C-alpha cells in the first residue's frame, strides 16, 4: 500500500500535477471524472442506506425491550385489547408488529370461525406479519450488496480508461518515460482506489445488517411461537 502511494506521488510529480483534490481532478479525463462521479453517488446512496437501517434497527431494538415488558402483564391478565394498544404505541418494534397482528387475528377469528380454526387463523396471520416485517427490515440491503459487488468494476472501468490515456500520452509525446504516462496511470490508480473505497464499507455494512435481520427473524419467530402457545392455553382454559 505504501509502495502504491509512493508510485502515485511520483506519477503526479512527473506529470506536473499538484498533490491536492483540485489538481487531481483537473488532470483527469472526462470519462475518468464520470466514473468518479458515479462512484461518489453510489457512496452517498450506500451511506444513506446505512444510516437509515442503523436508526431503524436501533429503534426496533429499544422499543421491543419496552414492549415485551409492558405486554407481558397485559397478556397475563388476559387483556388483549390493552396488549394491542401497547403494540400500537410501539410501532417501530418488530416484535410489536407481529404480536399486534397475531392478537388481532385471534380476536377476529374467535368471533367468526369455530374453535378448531381459531389457532390456524392466528398462525396464518402471524406468518404473514413476520414476512412483511422481514421485508421491511431488509429494505435497502440488496442495494448495498449490489454496490459492494459492482463498485470495484466501475473503478476498473476507470482503470482501463486511465491505461488507454497513458498509451495516448506515449503516442502524442513520442516518448516512453514516466512523464508520458503519468496522467493516465494516475487516473487508473485514483479510480481503482475510489471503487474499493465505495465497495468495502458497503460489503461490511451488508454483512453486518444481514446478521441483524437474521437475529430479528429469530426473535419474531420465537414471539410467534410463544403467542400461539398462549392462544392454545387460553382456548383450553375456556373449555
In this prediction, residues 92-110 reach a mean pLDDT of: 87
Lowest-pLDDT range of 108-112, 146-150, 181-185? 181-185
Range of the domain at 39: 2-238
Contacts of 156 (CB under 8 A, 6+ apart): 191, 192, 195
pLDDT of 226-238, one tens digit each? 888 888 887 665 5
**DSSP per-residue string spanning 32-87:** HHHHHHHHHHHHHHHHHHHHHHHHHHHHHHHHHHHHHHHHHHHHHTT-HHHHHHHH
Name the residue with cell 491536492: 20
More confident residue, 9 or 229: 229
- Residue 212 contacts residue 27 (beta carbons within 8 Å): no
What is the model's pLDDT at position 30?
77
**DSSP per-residue string spanning 81-105:** HHHHHHHHH-TT-HHHHHHHHHHHH
pTM, full prediction: 0.78
What is the model's pLDDT at position 213?
95
Dist. CA 49–CA 217, nearest whole Å = 20
What is the model's pLDDT at position 188?
72
Say how many domains are in the chain: 1
At 190, is the pLDDT very low, low, confident or very high (cuts 50, 70, 90)? confident
In this prediction, residues 190-194 reach a mean pLDDT of: 83
Amino acid at each position: 500500500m505504501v509502495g502504491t502511494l509512493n508510485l502515485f506521488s511520483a506519477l503526479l510529480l512527473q506529470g506536473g500535477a499538484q498533490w491536492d483534490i483540485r489538481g487531481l481532478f483537473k488532470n483527469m479525463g472526462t470519462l475518468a471524472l464520470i466514473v468518479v462521479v458515479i462512484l461518489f453517488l453510489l457512496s452517498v446512496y450506500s451511506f444513506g442506506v446505512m444510516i437509515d437501517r442503523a436508526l431503524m434497527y436501533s429503534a426496533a431494538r429499544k422499543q421491543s425491550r419496552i414492549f415485551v415488558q409492558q405486554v407481558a402483564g397485559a397478556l397475563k391478565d388476559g387483556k388483549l385489547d390493552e396488549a394491542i394498544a401497547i403494540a400500537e404505541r410501539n410501532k417501530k418494534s418488530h416484535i410489536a408488529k407481529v404480536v399486534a397482528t397475531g392478537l388481532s387475528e385471534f380476536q377476529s377469528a374467535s368471533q367468526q370461525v369455530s374453535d378448531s380454526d381459531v389457532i390456524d387463523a392466528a398462525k396464518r396471520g402471524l406468518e404473514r406479519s413476520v414476512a412483511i416485517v422481514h421485508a421491511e427490515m431488509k429494505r435497502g440491503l440488496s442495494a448495498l450488496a449490489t454496490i459492494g459487488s459492482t463498485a470495484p468494476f466501475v473503478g476498473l472501468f476507470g482503470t482501463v480508461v486511465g491505461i488507454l490515456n497513458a498509451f495516448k500520452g506515449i503516442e502524442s509525446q513520442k516518448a516512453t518515460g514516466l512523464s508520458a504516462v503519468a496522467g493516465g496511470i494516475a487516473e487508473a490508480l485514483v479510480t481503482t482506489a475510489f471503487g474499493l473505497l465505495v465497495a468495502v464499507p458497503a460489503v461490511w455494512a451488508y454483512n453486518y445488517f444481514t446478521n441483524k435481520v437474521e437475529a430479528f427473524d429469530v426473535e419474531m419467530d420465537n414471539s410467534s411461537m410463544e403467542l400461539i402457545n398462549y392462544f392454545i392455553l387460553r382456548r383450553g382454559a375456556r373449555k
